[in-house]
Amino acid sequence: MSPEPPAHPPASEVSAQATRGLGIADLCISRPVFATMINLFFVVLGWFSFRSIGVDQFPNVELPIVTVTTTLRGASPEEMETSVTKPLEEIINTVQGIDELSSTTIEGVSRITIQFFLERNRDIAAQDVRDKVNTILSQLPQGTDTPIIDKFDLDAVPVMSLSVSAPRDLKEITYIVDRQIKQILETVPDVGAVIMIGGRTRAVQVAVDIDKLRARGLTIEDVRTALLQQNLEVPAGRVDQGTRELVVRTLGRMGSVRDFNDLIIAAVGTQPIRLSDVAAVTDSVEEPRSLSRLNEVNAVTLVVRKQSGSNTVKVIDGVKGKLKELEPIIPRDFKVNIIRDQSRFIKRSLHEVSSHLLMGAVLVALTVFFFLHDWRGTVIASIAIPAPLVATFALMRAMNYTLNNFTMLGMVFAVGIVIDDAIVVLENIHHTMEEKGWSAVRAASYATREIALAVMATTLSLVVIFLPLAFMKGRTGMFFSSYGVTVAFAILVSLFVSFTLTPMLASRFLRHTDDEKIRAKKAHGGVLLRWLSGHYIAVLRWSLRHRRIIVCGAGACVLSLFVLGKLTKFTFLPQDDASEFEIALQTPEGSTLQRSADICAEIDQRLKAVRIDGQQAITDTLATIGETSGRVGKAEGDVTLATIYCRLPDLGGFWSTLFGRTRRWPQFQVMSLARRALADYPDVRSSVQLISNISTGGRNSDLSFNLLGPDLDKLSEYADGIIRRLSSDKGVVDVDTTLSNRKPEL
């Protein structure tokens, strides 16, 4: 029997042992500076990468969806369907790779949505659609605007809404907002567009008296032609003046009502007929087709959209900073209110995730101390938590990932995994030291080599579980690929840390003790752990004696998965409490802008009266009526469509809720009360919905299906029947159809 090696071998023996076994671990034990620097390299790289990573709610996802929007002012839905939508659909349908093609036609507007197979490149698909549409532009009715072709982009969703109000005329407010706010905000880096809603742009209105025209033998076309030909500026060439060359420009634009009144339409003999002779000219505004109201007060709303791929939080912070700079310029009686701010929810979500991340790390460290009974070992194991997580930021930066709900979820999930390898290695080193009485250096080398294969097997098995998420197909794969890559990389880095940093720190900081009681306590735990160990052995012995019962119990657990799986609710994304929601409304067909505004005002008052536990449930409302996408003409758009944005008191974190510093009731309770209030307006079609950041447009519904057939009246009849049946189900709300009644015609 060979003699037991000495507890503290000389340095020469340690160096000799370091050349054997697991090369990287022994190298780090004998070269602590090398081990420290290589791990610091990954940590520092991850830290600097973290400072440049974008912050967003969802990953950057490119869905191959293209929309074609075409406008023809004054055209009825039937005319738009026959002369615009169908020809465009027929030519677009020849593009390869189309999965689904759908269209919506309303008065003066045609929208065609083309969904391609996910393998199709979005940019190439959009170009193919553009090429096909260009081939039939000449076949569209005269007066049709050039179709606008857009690629669907998650970043196209508005990230911020501003409301500007003042005790002035709305036309004056619009002019100041456009010149002093809108145009300046458009220069903020990464701002894609700033859309104005509810403004009143200055315009000269010409009200022609038909009887006076007829009396002079003129037509409305004569007036139109005169306005087009005489109200314009044209280049007039160049003039050489000595050594200088001057550009000649004719100033033919009319800037006042007097200029328009003096415009000559025609002449009868030597007597000119001026515009004032047959029409009343007034300095007014363009035909209003949209309206915006903040808390029942008329206002001008600015909707901010960011550029594709830009950082949402950075864009919003840039807009806020620019507004601070504009405060001395904006008139004092103007009130600029930030209504919708997507960064609020993103920052709050990331703050909560970060808090849980820190709390999880602390709990893991306490658990390690509970088992090891050694503060040095606890510190060594705890270092294995931040090192892999911080290093993962370098991969996220290289892969162009953002800090979003999915990547941060992966970080939180990885907290409990990345420390596993370090705990296993450290515990084996700890156990070897106390059992064999070896020095920390020798025990670190031997124990790491002994457990290396098992640690690698368990770690790589976890990588095999999560890494395939990066190669998933479909929309689910687009969202969860970054999650799988993040977790897999963090696990691999934790394996590297457990074989380099952990044994090196253990060899330098763990201390050997000659006290048998302390050694036994560290090796086998305290009274509670020994009690648990004893009972575990008893349970294990009983299990070995009753194998059939254990096997049957395990089989029952497996079979229960099929039963419980059917009872479990499934959804693509969880419904978060973002302290905001919106109500989509459609007033009766034929309603004027003022009628729609009156209905929205009544509903607004009902919403403001909603109270829960004595607290006002809805703090702010922003009603917008008419076209708000910026994709139709100024005088177009459906004034029966409206949206009411509702903002709730902010929902605080765990501690704020615990001490009653925030609302305790959920957002969905307020949405349910809002539906009750809307039930008193049966002629108004409404939908209370969450604000979706991945919507392709239209109402956000959990379930939708299409009815196809040649007879529109029959389809309407079937749709009404389905709506009645579904509305009787208590689990279904906001059942509606996209089919609109025909607008009254004259």
| CATH number for 87 | 3.30.70.1430
Distance (Å, whole) CA 298 – CA 174:
12
Residues 716 and 636 occupy one common structural domain: yes
Contact 515/434 with Cβ under 8 angstroms?
A: no
Contact 258/273 with Cβ under 8 angstroms?
A: no
124 lies in some domain? yes
pLDDT at site 654: 56
Query: If you write DSSP's letter for every residue of 580-623 in order, what string do you get?
Result: EEEEEEEPPTT--HHHHHHHHHHHHHHHHT-EETTEES--EEEE
pLDDT at site 19: 38
- CA-nearest of 692, 462, 676 to 578 is 692
> If you average pLDDT over every residue of the chain, what do you get?
82
DSSP state for residue 501 in the 8-state scheme:
H
Residues 589 and 721 occupy one common structural domain: yes
pLDDT at site 375: 80
Residues 227 and 129 occupy one common structural domain: no
pLDDT at site 11: 40
Residues 537 and 636 occupy one common structural domain: no
pLDDT at site 524: 56
Lowest-pLDDT range, 258-267, 590-599, 707-716?
Answer: 707-716
Distance (Å, whole) CA 340 – CA 163:
9
566 vs 89, which has greater pLDDT? Answer: 89
420 lies in some domain? yes
Compute the average pLDDT of residues 32-58.
88
pLDDT at site 699: 60
630 lies in some domain? yes
Q: What is the 3-state secondary structure (H, E, C) of 267-326?
A: EECCEEEEHHHHEEEEEEECCCCEEEEECCEECEEEEEEECCCCCHHHHHHHHHHHHHHH
pLDDT at 182 over 50: yes
State the pLDDT confidence band at 48, using cuts at 50, 70 and 90.
very high
352 lies in some domain? no
State the pLDDT confidence band at 1, using cuts at 50, 70 and 90.
very low
Contact 621/161 with Cβ under 8 angstroms?
A: no
- Angstrom distances, CA of residue 333 to CA of 173, 359, 620: 11, 47, 20
pLDDT at site 14: 41
pLDDT at site 7: 45
Compute the average pLDDT of residues 524-530.
63
697 lies in some domain? yes
Using the 3D structure, point to which of 118, 152, 186 is the last residue of a domain. Answer: 152
Distance (Å, whole) CA 259 – CA 561:
82
State the pLDDT confidence band at 700, using cuts at 50, 70 and 90.
low
Contact 640/589 with Cβ under 8 angstroms?
A: yes
Contact 599/677 with Cβ under 8 angstroms?
A: no
**Angle (deg, nearest 10), helices 440-466 and 11-18:** 20
Residues 104 and 146 occupy one common structural domain: yes
Distance (Å, whole) CA 459 – CA 419:
11
Contact 204/279 with Cβ under 8 angstroms?
A: no
Distance (Å, whole) CA 536 – CA 516:
25
- CA-nearest of 130, 39, 8, 116 to 500 is 39
CATH code: domain of residue 493: 1.20.1640.10
**Angle (deg, nearest 10), helices 386-398 and 32-50:** 50
Residues 401 and 423 occupy one common structural domain: yes
Compute the average pLDDT of residues 423-437.
81
Residues 36 and 80 occupy one common structural domain: no
What lies within 8 Å, CB to CB, of 703 at 6+ separation is none
pLDDT at site 16: 39
Strand-pair partners of 279: 208
pLDDT at 4 over 60: no
Residues 554 and 631 occupy one common structural domain: no
pLDDT at site 72: 87
Residues 32 and 117 occupy one common structural domain: no
pLDDT at site 523: 53
pLDDT at 652 over 80: no
pTM for this prediction: 0.76
pLDDT at site 548: 92
Distance (Å, whole) CA 283 – CA 395:
61
Dihedral of alpha carbons 287, 291, 297, 299, sign = negative
Contact 25/452 with Cβ under 8 angstroms?
A: yes
Domain region containing 478:
22-52+373-510
pLDDT at 259 over 60: yes
What lies within 8 Å, CB to CB, of 570 at 6+ separation is none
State the pLDDT confidence band at 571, using cuts at 50, 70 and 90.
confident
Residues 613 and 720 occupy one common structural domain: yes
187 vs 518, which has greater pLDDT? Answer: 187
354 vs 93, which has greater pLDDT? Answer: 93
460 vs 438, which has greater pLDDT? Answer: 460
pLDDT at 184 over 90: yes
Compute the average pLDDT of residues 208-229.
87
Highest mean pLDDT among 28-37, 343-352, 689-698: 28-37
Distance (Å, whole) CA 356 – CA 413:
10
pLDDT at 200 over 70: yes
pLDDT at site 10: 46
Helix, strand, or coil (residue 148): strand
pLDDT at 5 over 60: no
State the pLDDT confidence band at 424, using cuts at 50, 70 and 90.
confident
Domain count, the chain: 5
pLDDT at site 13: 42
pLDDT at 637 over 70: no
pLDDT at site 489: 93
Residues 663 and 585 occupy one common structural domain: yes
pLDDT at 709 over 70: yes
Distance (Å, whole) CA 150 – CA 109:
15
Contact 162/302 with Cβ under 8 angstroms?
A: yes
pLDDT at 495 over 50: yes
Distance (Å, whole) CA 193 – CA 174:
17
pLDDT at 531 over 80: no
94 lies in some domain? yes
13 lies in some domain? no
320 lies in some domain? no
At 368-421, the pLDDT tens digits run: 777 767 788 788 878 877 888 899 999 999 988 888 888 888 888 887 788 788
Residues 585 and 569 occupy one common structural domain: no
Compute the average pLDDT of residues 558-574.
79
